């Protein structure tokens, strides 16, 4: 296990350890610095997300003591998730949730935990997947691409960053709804996958919008559709799959959870704090810069969202042979 602990530093650090909202709950919580847990190493996407959350909480004076960033890396997120599970009832532990990785772990019985071991707090944004082809591709509409993949199964090749990640999940969901059949090549990283598409070694990618945008700006990639609830602000001309008749919403979500068993009053304080953080200029700038679908969900809504998505994720993990029985 690799562990790195880092203290966020934004502005002057104050000595007291109390949340300042809402006033009705501004009692003795937190009595120590919040521990923000990430499953990625420093510099990774989830690490960057949770550091920003800590910085905003401090800068906006929603906490008065700097949070501690705890990187617990390994096991496809399992080390971080098991650590948070082991902190049952501890209100000072806040787990960064990358929804794709989190749900893939939750549906694996061999890892020994479930959603009941956590208290979802809030969902702050979605980094949607996209269907992006090469800049000079003959496919100009998603339905043309789907029809071609139905006529000649496995003839169209997609580049993805992980065989178990959200890009592969998106491909699986698209195939299931449309009857199309795509081939794929898995790469070590999103940047390697993008290089393969732009180099015309494969036909398309179904990775996150944040990965493909530089290629779009260079006119080496063209986005045909996004599986989002609404069109993205930064891509107003790109249709959603929903408006084209496909009920698919998938991407790399950014959320927060606490261990199970935390007091309801504490959860209410953290919900209010994260909602205010989501409305801050710092978060809006970050979401816009990264082309996130800037959607907020509270604890109840996030719990409902995860429970709704988990069956499809479990089916996908079973399909690819990654769902192992309990040991």
pTM for this entry: 0.78
Given this model, what pLDDT does residue 27 score?
55
Given this model, what pLDDT does residue 281 score?
92
How does DSSP classify residue 193? H
The CA distance from 295 to 122, in Å, is 10
Q: Could you give all domains of the chain from N- to C-terminal order, each with its CATH number?
A: 2-127+251-319 (3.40.190.150), 130-225 (3.40.190.10)
The dihedral of CA 287, 289, 290, 292: what is its sign? positive
β-pair type (221-225, 131-134): antiparallel
Q: H or E element: which one contains 148?
A: helix 142-151
pLDDT means over runs of 10, the chain (327 residues): 39 37 53 91 85 91 89 90 96 93 91 95 92 96 96 96 86 95 89 91 91 89 92 89 91 93 94 94 88 90 94 91 78
The dihedral of CA 248, 252, 253, 257: what is its sign? positive
Given this model, what pLDDT does residue 232 score?
86
Helix axes 78-85, 99-106, angle to 10 degrees: 70
The CA distance from 19 to 34, in Å, is 10
Residue showing tokens 């927060």:
256
């Amino acid at each position: 296990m690799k562990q790195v602990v880092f203290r966020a530093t934004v502005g002057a650090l104050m000595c007291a350890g109390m949340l300042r909202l809402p006033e009705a709950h501004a009692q003795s919580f937190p009595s120590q610095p919040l521990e923000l847990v990430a499953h990625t190493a420093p510099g990774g996407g989830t690490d960057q997300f949770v550091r920003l959350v800590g910085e905003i909480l401090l800068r906006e004076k929603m906490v008065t003591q700097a949070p501690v960033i705890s990187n617990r890396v390994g096991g496809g997120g399992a080390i971080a998730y098991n650590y948070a599970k082991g902190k049952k009832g501890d209100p000072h532990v806040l787990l960064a949730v990358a929804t794709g990785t989190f749900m893939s772990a939750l549906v694996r019985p061999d890892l020994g935990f479930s959603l009941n071991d956590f208290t979802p707090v809030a969902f702050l944004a979605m980094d949607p997947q996209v269907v992006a082809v090469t800049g000079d591709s003959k496919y100009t509409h998603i339905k043309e691409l789907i029809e071609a993949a139905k006529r000649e199964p496995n003839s169209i090749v997609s580049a993805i960053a992980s065989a178990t990640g959200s890009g592969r999940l998106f491909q699986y969901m698209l195939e299931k709804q449309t009857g199309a059949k795509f081939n794929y090549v898995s790469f070590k990283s999103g940047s390697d996958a993008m290089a393969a598409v732009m180099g015309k070694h494969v036909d398309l990618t179904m990775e996150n919008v944040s990965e493909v945008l530089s290629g779009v700006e260079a006119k080496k990639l063209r986005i045909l559709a996004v599986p989002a609830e609404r069109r993205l602000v930064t891509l107003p001309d790109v249709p959603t799959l929903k408006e084209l008749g496909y009920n698919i919403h998938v991407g790399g979500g950014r959320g927060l959870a606490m261990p199970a068993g935390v007091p309801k009053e504490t959860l209410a304080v953290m919900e209010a704090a994260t909602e205010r953080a989501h409305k801050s200029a710092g978060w809006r700038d970050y979401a816009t810069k990264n082309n996130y679908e800037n959607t907020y969900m509270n604890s109840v809504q996030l719990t409902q969202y995860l429970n709704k998505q988990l069956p499809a994720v479990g089916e996908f993990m079973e399909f690819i042979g990654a769902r192992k029985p309990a040991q």
